[in-house]
Amino acid sequence: MPRAWLRRHRAAFVLYAGSALIGLGFIALGAAGTETAYALMVLGSYTVVPLASLLLPLYAARQGMERYASFFPPALFALAGWLTMEMTPPPATIPLSLGLGVLGSTAGSELRQQKRRPKKRK
């Protein structure tokens, strides 16, 4: 098995597993049904989801995954977690997460291309 294939698929696994953990976390907190759990869901929507939406696609795109396939899973899984509990996510968290996902995946793709380019000698 070539190393590039394994690295690309490991990156996809990390991306989708991390995104699924976000969605499952929202489902678990929503199932608790307390005000504290709801406050943690809102806090997570403004902190954990945008941070994961930036870092997970950056890692996946840097490891060789297509950048357009790596930007949407964290926001999509977070939205699915909210909708599964029949709640609406806080305003602007999903568009913010999608925007940060595009930024992270583009940065990861550029970092990968810089690593492959030969350095110019003066």
Task: Tell which wins on pLDDT, 105 or 1.
Answer: 105
pTM equals: 0.83
| 108 contacts 86 by C-beta, under 8 angstroms | no
Residue 102 reports pLDDT greater than 90: yes
Q: How many domains does the chain have?
A: 1
| Structural domain includes residue 88 | yes
| Structural domain includes residue 122 | no
pLDDT at residue 88 in the model: 85
pLDDT at residue 104 in the model: 92
pLDDT digits (tens, 9 = 90+) for 53-101: 999 999 999 888 888 888 888 889 988 988 888 888 888 899 999 999 9
What is the domain range of residue 84? 3-111
| Structural domain includes residue 116 | no
pLDDT band at 1 (very low <50, low <70, confident <90, very high): low
| 22 contacts 68 by C-beta, under 8 angstroms | no
Query: CA neighbours within 13 Å on the CB side: how many for 62?
Result: 14
pLDDT at residue 120 in the model: 72
| Structural domain includes residue 121 | no
CA distance 77 to 52: 11
- Which of the residue ranges 3-7, 90-94, 101-105 would you say has the lowest mean pLDDT? 3-7
| Structural domain includes residue 85 | yes
